[in-house]
Amino acid sequence: MLQFGGIEVMKTHGQAGEYRAALDRAHAHASGWLESLPARAVGPRINADELFAKFSAPLQEQPMDAGSVVDELARLAEPGLMAMPSGRFFGWVIGGTLPAALAADWLVSAWDQNAAMRFATPATAAAEEAAGIWLLELLGLPAGADVGFTTGATGANFVGLAAARAHVLNEAGWDLDTDGLAGAPRVRVLVGGERHASVDLALKYLGLGKPAEVAVDAQGRLIPGALAKALEAASGPAIVCLQAGNLHSGACDPMAEAADIAHGHGAWVHVDGAFGLWAAASPTHRHRLAGLENCDSWATDAHKTLNVPYDCGVAIVSRPEVVRSVFGVHTSYLVNDDRGPGDPFEKVPEFSRRARGVPVWAALRSLGRSGVAALVDELVAHAQAFAQALERMPGVDVLNDVVFTQVCVSFGSDERTRSITARIIADGTTWMSGSRWAGRDVLRISVSNWATDDDDVTVSLAAVAQAIAAEDAG
């Protein structure tokens, strides 16, 4: 018997029982999936069109019990799942999931907190704030910067560049909030020739148009002298977007030098470090990002290198007052917390939002400081092991300096590279994606999963050798 406001109520356990039945089924299917990974071919066995035909049966008239829904979903999805969390998956730049982060993500769903306000959801707000402080410490970024949790690095780039836009226009005497963008001074945006496409996307959302490309070196790093020249060529508000972690080479732009030049021209410096920012969390690799802390905003993903479940990006802005002026809202029905840390919804574009920073808290707690560094170091070591072994194979060229997690390989002509890439994917032992870099078709290997071990590297290399042999046999 429970008492609410002096009224005694008999509450049955019916609803709780329904949750338990559905969650027990989900738990069984999730464990089955995770346990299938070590022995499983990486690729899906069925394509989206075939699967759509199965998912899209006419919606029945009557309700179905939750456990049966979960069973049906798992059964239908199983053959169409890509083993992205497999230690043998090296496609695009995609992390796996640390156990503590995955379990925390389940709790986030069960808690069902709308993580917008400190007043309403103090538990998730506090966990996210703590995760944010740990991130600033680990990445060597200024204490007191605002940390917001976005869907990914695209969203985080949007936040950083939105803050940049507001700040440089304000410095130019233009009130963006009141007067909008029409008629504003033109904001010049300068980016390296090999920035990620999501930077362009964020700039498009922000009405800033196409950025001006600055020349890069052979590893895709922005050339500081070229940046200086470009900035000198005109005046007015400017944003410089640097990159920590080139998608193909893993190289980082020269942060200290580029930030100095940009600041000398009054520009805001944003860093897209979706995966490469994590080099800063490793004493071994931090030197590649010297001067990182002098920039003004940073975007990274937690769902790549940190290995939390999708979706989780991190937007960090050195000037809290700027990002909160862009995204903050005061209305009659919100309860704002105007003291130090600010409310979560003032740091990202969304109002309502899942507490996606909580898995970050759990991931960092489970790894500890040394564990984060070891995670990064191991990813790099595996990438370098790939590169060393591939270089010894006849007819194989590793095209980049393997300084981080990315390896770009050519097997000779573009046609041969494409054909061997297709053979590797069809075989299913490992998954590596094709791309184009430095004027050539490449096989790109991205080591981003905490679960990858030496054996995964060995069997994946054997699969590559086998694909080459099959190609040679015609």
Pick the binder of ligand PLP from 104, 153, 206, 408 (CB under 6 A): 153
Which whole-number Å values give the CA distances from 93 to 329, 333, 405, in the listed order? 35, 41, 9
Phi, psi of 24 (to 5 degrees): -60, -40
Q: Rule CB under 6 A: is residue 359 a binding residue for ligand PLP?
A: no
Determine the Cα–Cα distance for residues 392 and 387; give it in Å rounded to an integer. Answer: 9
Q: Rule CB under 6 A: is residue 245 a binding residue for ligand PLP?
A: yes
- Burial pattern 131-155, b for ≥16 Cβ within 10 A else e, equals bbebbbebbebeeebbbbbbbbbbb
Determine the Cα–Cα distance for residues 398 and 435; give it in Å rounded to an integer. Answer: 14
- Judged by CB under 6 A, the chain residues 389 through 428 that form the site for ligand PLP are none
Q: Are 119 and 337 in contact (CB under 8 A)?
A: yes
| Shortest Cβ 245–ligand PLP spacing (Å) | 5
Q: Rule CB under 6 A: is residue 313 a binding residue for ligand PLP?
A: yes
Closer CB to ligand PLP, 82 or 234, in the complex: 82
Q: Which of 461, 433, 392 is nearest to 93 (CA)?
A: 433
Pick the binder of ligand PLP from 83, 252, 274, 372 (CB under 6 A): 274
With H, G, I as helix, E, B as strand and everything else as coil, classify residue 409.
Answer: strand
- Burial pattern 213-224, b for ≥16 Cβ within 10 A else e, equals ebebbebbbbbb
Phi, psi of 301 (to 5 degrees): -110, 145
Q: Which stretch binds ligand PLP (CB under 6 A): 14-22, 151-159, 160-168, 410-418?
A: 151-159
Using CB under 6 A as the binding criterion, the count of chain residues that bind ligand PLP stands at 13
Q: Rule CB under 6 A: is residue 253 a binding residue for ligand PLP?
A: no
Q: Which stretch binds ligand PLP (CB under 6 A): 186-194, 268-276, 338-346, 402-410?
A: 268-276
Closer CB to ligand PLP, 254 or 313, in the complex: 313
Q: Rule CB under 6 A: is residue 152 a binding residue for ligand PLP?
A: yes
- Judged by CB under 6 A, the chain residues 187 through 216 that form the site for ligand PLP are 196, 198
Q: Which of 277, 317, 350, 16 is nearest to 142 (CA)?
A: 317
Pick the binder of ligand PLP from 134, 149, 174, 275 (CB under 6 A): 275
With H, G, I as helix, E, B as strand and everything else as coil, classify residue 433.
Answer: strand
Closer CB to ligand PLP, 152 or 320, in the complex: 152
Q: Are 423 and 463 in contact (CB under 8 A)?
A: no
Q: Which of 97, 170, 113 is nearest to 344 (CA)?
A: 113
Letters for 12-51 (x = contact with ligand PLP by CB under 6 A, - = none) are: ----------------------------------------
Closer CB to ligand PLP, 201 or 462, in the complex: 201
**Chain position whose Cβ is nearest to ligand PLP:** 152
Pick the binder of ligand PLP from 117, 136, 145, 247 (CB under 6 A): 247
Closer CB to ligand PLP, 91 or 313, in the complex: 313
474 Cβ neighbours under 8 A, 6+ residues apart: none
Point out which residues bind ligand PLP (CB under 6 A): 93, 152-154, 196, 198, 245, 247, 272, 274-275, 301, 313
